[in-house]
Amino acid sequence: MSALRILVPIKRVIDYAVKPRVNKAQTAVETAGVKHSMNPFDDLSVEESVDIRDRNRAPGGVEDICAISAGPPKAQDILRTAMAMGADRGIHVEMKEGEELEPLMVAKMLKKVAEQQRSNLVILGKQSIDGDSAQTGQMLAGLLGWSQATQACKVEFGEGDSVTVTKEVDGGVETVRAKLPMVVTTDLRLNVPRYATLPNIMKAKKKKLDKMTLQDLGLDNEKRLKVLKVTEPAARQGGGKVEDVDGLISKLKELGAL
Amino acid sequence: MFPTARRVLGTAAGPLLGRGASALSPCPRSRLLSTLAILEQRDGQLNLASLSAFTAAKKLGGTIHGFVAGSKVSAAAEQAAKVDGVEQIIAVENEAYEKGLPENYAPLLVDNIKKSNYTHVISGHTAFGKNVLPRVAALLDSQQISDITSIQDEKTFVRPIYAGNAIATVESSDPIKIITIRGTAFAPATPESASAAVVQGVDPKPEPTTEWVSEDLAKSDRPDLATASKVVSGGRGLKSKEDFDRVMLPLADALGAAVGASRAAVDSGYADNSLQVGQTGKVVAPQLYMAVGISGAIQHLAGMKDSKVIAAINKDADAPIFQVADVGLVGDLFEKVPELTEKIRSS
Question: Domain of B161: which CATH number?
Answer: 3.40.50.620
Taking the C-alpha atoms of residue B55 and residue B51, their distance in angstroms, rounded to an integer, is 7
What pLDDT, on a 0 to 100 scale, did the predictor assign at position A75?
97
What pLDDT, on a 0 to 100 scale, did the predictor assign at position B3?
44
Mean pLDDT for B203-211 is 93
Mean pLDDT for B130-151 is 98
Nearby residues of B199 by Cβ (< 8 Å), 6 or more positions away: B88, B89, B90, B91
What is the percent of chain A where pLDDT is above 70? 100
What pLDDT, on a 0 to 100 scale, did the predictor assign at position B273?
83
pLDDT band at B88 (very low <50, low <70, confident <90, very high): very high
Asked whether residue B15 carries a pLDDT value surpassing 70, the answer given is no
Mean pLDDT for B304-309 is 93
The verdict on B83 and B188 lying in the same domain is: yes
Mean pLDDT for B203-231 is 89
CA B183 to chain centre: 3
| Structural domain contains residue B209 | no
pLDDT-wise least confident of A20-29, A41-50, A168-177, B170-179: A168-177
Domain count, chain B: 2
Mean pLDDT for A23-46 is 96
Asked whether residue B32 carries a pLDDT value surpassing 90, the answer given is no
The verdict on B172 and B237 lying in the same domain is: no
Mean pLDDT for A160-178 is 94
As to burial, measured by CB atoms within 10 angstroms (0-12 exposed, 13-18 middle, 19+ buried), residue A171 is buried
What pLDDT, on a 0 to 100 scale, did the predictor assign at position B299?
87
CA distance B194 to chain A (A): 30
Which stretch of DSSP H or E encloses residue A84?
helix A75-85
Longest dimension (CA), chain A: 68
What pLDDT, on a 0 to 100 scale, did the predictor assign at position B86?
97
Phi, psi of A30 (to 5 degrees): -65, 125
Q: Cα–Cα distances in Å, from A37 out to A43, A98, B131?
A: 10, 16, 26
The verdict on B147 and B196 lying in the same domain is: yes
Look at residues B14, B157, B91, B148 and name the one whose alpha carbon lies nearest to residue A224: B157
Domain with B40 in it: 34-200
Concatenated DSSP letters of A103-152: HHHHHHHHHHHHHHTT-SEEEEES--TTT----HHHHHHHHHT-EEEEEE
CB of A34 closer than 8 Å to CB of A108: no
What pLDDT, on a 0 to 100 scale, did the predictor assign at position A80?
98
What pLDDT, on a 0 to 100 scale, did the predictor assign at position B223?
87
Helical residues (DSSP H) of B25-144, grouped into ranges: 52-60, 74-80, 102-116, 127-139
CB of A112 closer than 8 Å to CB of A220: no
The verdict on B43 and B192 lying in the same domain is: yes
Q: Which residues of chain A lie closer than 8 angstroms to B168, CB-CB?
A: 227, 229-230
CB contact under 8 A, A153 and B273: yes
Domain with A124 in it: 4-254
| Structural domain contains residue B10 | no
| Structural domain contains residue B173 | yes
pLDDT band at B24 (very low <50, low <70, confident <90, very high): very low
Which parts of B are annotated binding residues for FAD? Answer: 236, 262-263, 276-280, 293-300, 314
A140 close to B (CB below 8 A): yes
Please compute Rg for chain B using Cα positions.
22
Share the mean pLDDT of chain B: 90
What pLDDT, on a 0 to 100 scale, did the predictor assign at position B25?
46
The verdict on B259 and B337 lying in the same domain is: yes
CA B226 to chain centre: 8
The verdict on B75 and B117 lying in the same domain is: yes
A239 close to B (CB below 8 A): yes
Query: What pLDDT, in 10s, does the model give residues A88-115?
Result: 999 999 999 889 999 999 999 999 999 9
Q: Which amino acid is at B192?
A: E
Taking the C-alpha atoms of residue B80 and residue B194, their distance in angstroms, rounded to an integer, is 9
Q: The CATH number of the domain where B259 resides is what?
A: 3.40.50.1220
CA distance A27 to chain B (A): 9
CB contact under 8 A, A173 and B215: yes
pTM of the model: 0.89
The verdict on B55 and B192 lying in the same domain is: yes
| Structural domain contains residue B218 | no
What pLDDT, on a 0 to 100 scale, did the predictor assign at position B163?
87
Taking the C-alpha atoms of residue A95 and residue A102, their distance in angstroms, rounded to an integer, is 13
Asked whether residue B6 carries a pLDDT value surpassing 50, the answer given is no
Q: Which of B200, B215, B241 is the last residue of a domain?
A: B200
Q: The CATH number of the domain where A189 resides is what?
A: 3.40.50.620
Asked whether residue A245 carries a pLDDT value surpassing 90, the answer given is yes
3-state helix, strand, coil in chain B (%, to 5): 40, 25, 35
Look at residues B252, B341, B237, B334 and name the one whose alpha carbon lies nearest to residue B288: B252
pLDDT-wise least confident of A15-19, A30-34, B108-112, B240-244: A15-19
CB of B115 closer than 8 Å to CB of B141: no
What is the percent of chain B where pLDDT is above 90? 80
Asked whether residue B30 carries a pLDDT value surpassing 60, the answer given is no
Q: Please tell me which residue of chain A has the smallest CA distance to B306.
A: A236
Residues 104-133 of A with CB under 8 A from B: 104, 107, 129-133
CB contact under 8 A, B339 and A20: no
As to burial, measured by CB atoms within 10 angstroms (0-12 exposed, 13-18 middle, 19+ buried), residue A147 is buried
pLDDT band at B11 (very low <50, low <70, confident <90, very high): very low
Concatenated DSSP letters of A193-246: PPPPPHHHHHHHTTSEEEEE-TGGGT------EEEEEEEPPPPPPP--EESSHH
pLDDT-wise least confident of A51-60, A212-221, B66-75, B225-234: B225-234
What pLDDT, on a 0 to 100 scale, did the predictor assign at position B16?
42
Higher-pLDDT residue of B143 and B1 is B143
CB of B169 closer than 8 Å to CB of B156: yes
Half-sphere exposure in the Cβ direction for B79 (13 Å, CA): 18
What pLDDT, on a 0 to 100 scale, did the predictor assign at position B141?
98
Asked whether residue B137 carries a pLDDT value surpassing 80, the answer given is yes
pLDDT band at B9 (very low <50, low <70, confident <90, very high): very low
Q: Which residues of chain A lie closer than 8 angstroms to B138, CB-CB?
A: 104, 107, 138-140, 142-143
What pLDDT, on a 0 to 100 scale, did the predictor assign at position B13?
40
The verdict on B166 and B277 lying in the same domain is: no
pLDDT-wise least confident of B154-158, B216-220, B242-246, B341-345: B216-220
Q: Which amino acid is at B337?
A: V
A169 close to B (CB below 8 A): yes
pLDDT band at B84 (very low <50, low <70, confident <90, very high): very high
Q: Find the Cα–Cα–Cα–Cα dihedral B183, B187, B193, B198, rounded to 10°.
A: -20
What pLDDT, on a 0 to 100 scale, did the predictor assign at position A97?
86
The verdict on B196 and B48 lying in the same domain is: yes
What pLDDT, on a 0 to 100 scale, did the predictor assign at position B2?
45
pLDDT-wise least confident of A8-12, A140-144, B24-28, B325-329: B24-28
Asked whether residue A231 carries a pLDDT value surpassing 70, the answer given is yes
ipTM value:
0.96
Domain count, chain A: 1
CB contact under 8 A, B135 and A142: yes
The verdict on B130 and B60 lying in the same domain is: yes
Strand partners, A4: A62
CB of A77 closer than 8 Å to CB of A38: no
The verdict on B113 and B162 lying in the same domain is: yes
The verdict on B109 and B69 lying in the same domain is: yes
What pLDDT, on a 0 to 100 scale, did the predictor assign at position B239?
96
pLDDT-wise least confident of B11-15, B58-62, B103-107, B331-335: B11-15
Share the mean pLDDT of chain A: 96
CB contact under 8 A, B210 and A143: no
What pLDDT, on a 0 to 100 scale, did the predictor assign at position B218?
77
Mean pLDDT for A154-166 is 97
Mean pLDDT for B304-331 is 96
Beta strands in B192-320 (DSSP E): 197-200, 210-217, 230-234, 258-261, 288-292, 309-314
The phi-psi region of residue B44 (left if phi > 0; otherwise alpha if psi is between -120 and 50; otherwise beta) is left
Helical residues (DSSP H) of chain B, grouped into ranges: 2-24, 52-60, 74-80, 102-116, 127-139, 241-255, 263-267, 298-301, 321-324, 333-346
CB contact under 8 A, B327 and A248: yes
